[in-house]
Chains A and B, each alone.
Chain A
Amino acid sequence: KAGVTQTPRYLIKTRGQQVTLSCSPISGHRSVSWYQQTPGQGLQFLFEYFSETQRNKGNFPGRFSGRQFSNSRSEMNVSTLELGDSALYLCASSQTGTPSYNEQFFGPGTRLTVL
Chain B
Amino acid sequence: DQQVKQNSPSLSVQEGRISILNCDYTNSMFDYFLWYKKYPAEGPTFLISISSIKDKNEDGRFTVFLNKSAKHLSLHIVPSQPGDSAVYFCAASDGSYGGATNKLIFGTGTLLAVQP
Chain A residues within 8 Å of B, Cβ to Cβ = 4, 31, 33, 35, 40-45, 48, 50, 55-56, 58, 90, 92, 94, 97-102, 104-109
Query: Interface size on B (CB < 8 Å)?
Result: 27
CB-based contact B103/A56 at 8 Å: yes
Which residues 24-40 of B sit at the A interface, judged by CB distance below 8 A? 32, 34, 36
In the complex, residue of chain B having the shortest beta-carbon distance to the beta carbon of A33: B102
Q: How far is the CB of A31 from chain B (nearest CB, A)?
A: 5
CB-based contact B103/A45 at 8 Å: yes
In the complex, residue of chain B having the shortest beta-carbon distance to the beta carbon of A107: B43
Give Cα A99–Cα B44 distance, bound, in whole angstroms.
17
In the complex, residue of chain A having the shortest beta-carbon distance to the beta carbon of B101: A56
Give Cα A107–Cα B45 distance, bound, in whole angstroms.
9
Top 5 closest pairs, chain A to chain B, by CB: A106-B43, A42-B108, A43-B106, A42-B106, A56-B101
Asked if B116 is an interface residue, CB under 8 A from chain A, the answer is no
Residue picked from B93, B100, B102, B105, most chain A C-beta under 10 Å: B102
Chain B residues with Cβ under 8 A from A100's Cβ? Answer: 102
Q: How far is the CB of B10 from chain A (nearest CB, A)?
A: 13
